[in-house]
Every structure is written in C-alpha cells, then in structure tokens.
C-alpha cells in the first residue's frame, strides 16, 4: 500500500487530493498548520483508518515515522488577499517548507511533488503561457512574495533532483475552483458567488477585460495523479485553456445563481494583476494524456451549491 504525505492537506486542494489518494488505495498523512486550511475540509476522513492528520508547520524540522512513497507539497497561502496579510508566511513555506519537504523526500527515497503556479509567469508577455516561458515578474511588488517564492521552490526542487537524484514532479496550477474554497478567500470565484448569493453588488476590478481560465478541482487533481504516477518531471501546466473575461464570468455567475445583483466596477487592487492568463496544455495532453472534462457551467453549479449551503442562502 503506497503511503503519501500531503502538506497543506486541510486546504481546498489538499483535502481533495487526500480524498483521491485514499480512493486510489494510499495511506495518507495530512500536515497543515491551519493558517488557511480548515479541519472542516477533512472532517469526513477522520474515522478512516488509512488517514492521519497532524497539525504541523512544515517550515519547522520535518519528519514522519515509517516509509513514505510520495510527498505532495501543497502547503502555502495562495490568495491575493494573503499576499499582504501573510507575506512572510508565504515566503517561508515556499522556501523553508519546500527545503524541509525535499529533505524528507531524500531521507525516505520518496517522490517529491511540487505544486507550483501560473504565477511564476507573472504578468505574461506571451499568450497562452507555455512551460518554456520564463515569465514577467516584479520581484518587489505585492505579488512578488508568492511569485518569487514559487520560482525559488521550483529551482530548489530541481537542484535536489540534480544533486541528490530525488525523483521530483513539478506542476504549474492555473486558476482552480470548486467546493471547500474559503468564503473570504478573496479570489474571483468566492467573491462573485458570495456577492451573487447575498444579493450584493458583484465587484469587477478594472474594466473587466482581464482574462482567466478556470479549471474545476476534480480535473486538476486528476492531472496531479497523471503527473505523479508518470515518468515525467515537468514543469507541466495543468489548467483549463478555455478563457473568459472577468465581466463574462461575473455575468455567468449572476445567471446561474438567478441573482438580482448589479455588476459594478472598481479600480484594480494590485498594479501587477495579470491581464491575461491561459495555459498551453500541449505537454499535459501529449505526455500525460490529460485534459479537463468538467464544463464551466457544471463546475460552477456544484460550487454554487456548496457555497449556498455554507452561507445559508437559497439558490433559485
């Protein structure tokens, strides 16, 4: 029976990964300091004898007893609201935390799986973004704490691979959504859905012409496992290449929630906010046989239902 460690295992994506690994027959140890994660996300797993949760800060000395086959390193605040409120924690978990997790992978002869991000591309000057693009990042901007620490995480991961022959996998995640996102996450999906369900104005920053590509969480986790169990190292983009403007996305959520909310426009919060974001998933398609299958409407319906229950709202 494979044994996997998931750092950030009580988070949005970490908890979904724990679910999937258990379904695949893995024993799972989830580590999380709950700075942005929640035990609510893994409450349904606590009685599973193959699951163990440890409240732990992975920037400290990291050791787990017994054999380990895979270490999935997902720990890190990832929302733009966290870039100012948790800036030091972000830098530490992506630098020190990655270093500690790589050390454990080396000690255990385990495969190390790094969840990197499309943010390594910054505000991209090429579109769509391919894995060989080096990015356009402001290292001292508000987003730099996340962008640069993830770039460092990729660099040290490959350094351990080259110097110590640690088997590694690097995935670059594009915008992902689904149940278990934080209600106050600050990203566009929780913002728009929460505002629409409450009947508040739906806030679009800037002109609404900036684009994003949204991948449903189950598709993303499938991509994780395709990469983890392959002979590829990466980095490989995993995301949905269907691109929409923020205004189109707000209009779609308003339609699906049957909301009376008006759409209002406010100035951009951060000057380095990417104008375009869409993955080129050629490598994922050709090397992993992966591509997303959940439509935006299907994924949003599931996400809206989850948020409606949490907010005590009635979705029409």
Query: Which CATH number fits the domain that encloses residue 65?
Result: 3.40.50.720
Residue 103 counted as domain residue: yes
Same domain, 133 and 272: no
Residues 133 and 65 in one domain: yes
Residues 6+ apart with CB under 8 A from 191: 185, 203
Annotated active-site residue in 146, 160, 177, 216 = 146
d(CA 148, CA 209): 26
* Same domain? 97 vs 202: no
How confident is the model at residue 285, as a pLDDT?
Answer: 98
Rounded CA separation 121/135 (Å):
4
- Across the chain, which has 316 residues, the per-10-residue mean pLDDT values are 98 98 98 97 98 96 94 95 94 98 98 97 92 95 95 98 98 96 88 94 90 95 98 97 93 94 86 80 98 96 95 58
Are residues 18 and 34 located together in one domain of the fold? yes
Residue 166 makes CB contacts below 8 A (sequence gap 6+) with 102, 105, 106, 112, 160
Query: Do residue 167 and residue 53 come from a single domain?
Result: yes
The answer to whether residue 290 is domain-embedded is no
Amino acid 185: pLDDT: 83
**Residue where the block lists tokens 């909301």:** 259
CB 36 within 8 A of CB 82: yes
Domain count, the chain: 2
**Domain co-membership, 10 together with 92:** yes
Same domain, residue pair 13 and 152: yes
State whether 129 and 226 are in the same domain: yes
Is 146 labeled as catalytic in the residue annotation?
yes
If asked whether residues 222 and 149 sit together in one domain, one would say: yes
Do 57 and 169 reside in the same domain of the chain? yes
Q: How much is the pLDDT for 272?
A: 66
Among candidates 235, 224, 201, which has minimal Cα distance to 290? Answer: 224
Residue 91 included in any domain: yes
CATH of the domain at 188: 3.90.25.10
In this structure, are 48 and 106 located in the same domain? yes
Q: Is residue 286 part of a domain?
A: no
Residue 129 burial (C-beta neighbours within 10 Å; 0-12, 13-18, 19+):
buried
Query: In which domain, by residue range, is 302 found?
Result: 178-212+242-278+295-311
Task: Tell whether 44 is covered by a domain.
Answer: yes
């Amino acid at each position: 029976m494979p044994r996997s460690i998931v750092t950030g295992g009580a988070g949005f994506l970490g908890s979904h990964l724990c679910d999937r690994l258990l379904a695949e027959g893995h024993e799972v140890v989830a580590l999380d300091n709950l700075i942005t994660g929640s035990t609510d996300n893994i409450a349904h797993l606590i009685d599973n004898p193959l699951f163990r949760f440890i409240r732990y800060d992975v920037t400290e000395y990291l050791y787990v007893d017994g054999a380990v086959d895979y270490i999935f390193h997902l720990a890190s605040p990832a929302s733009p609201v966290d870039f100012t409120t948790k800036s030091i924690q972000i830098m530490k978990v992506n630098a020190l935390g990655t270093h500690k997790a790589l050390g454990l992978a080396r000690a255990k002869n385990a495969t190390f799986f790094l969840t990197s991000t499309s943010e390594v591309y910054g505000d991209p000057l090429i579109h769509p973004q391919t894995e060989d693009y080096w990015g356009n990042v402001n290292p001292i901007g508000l987003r730099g704490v996340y962008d640069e620490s993830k770039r460092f995480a990729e660099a040290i991961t490959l350094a351990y691979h080259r110097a110590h022959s640690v088997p590694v996998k690097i995935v670059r995640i594009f915008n992902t959504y689904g149940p278990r996102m934080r209600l106050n996450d600050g990203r566009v999906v929780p913002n728009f859905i929460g505002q629409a369900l409450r009947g508040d104005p739906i806030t679009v920053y800037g002109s609404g012409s900036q684009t994003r590509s949204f991948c449903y969480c189950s598709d993303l986790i499938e991509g994780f496992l395709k990469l983890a169990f392959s002979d590829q190292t990466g980095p490989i983009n995993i995301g949905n290449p269907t691109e929409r403007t923020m205004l189109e996305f707000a209009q779609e959520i308003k339609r699906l929630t049957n909301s009376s909310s008006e759409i209002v426009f406010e100035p951009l919060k951060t000057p380095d906010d990417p104008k375009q974001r869409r993955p080129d998933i050629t490598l994922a398609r050709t090397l992993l046989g992966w591509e997303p299958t959940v439509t935006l409407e299907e994924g949003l319906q599931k996400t809206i239902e989850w948020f409606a229950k949490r907010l005590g709202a009635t979705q029409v």
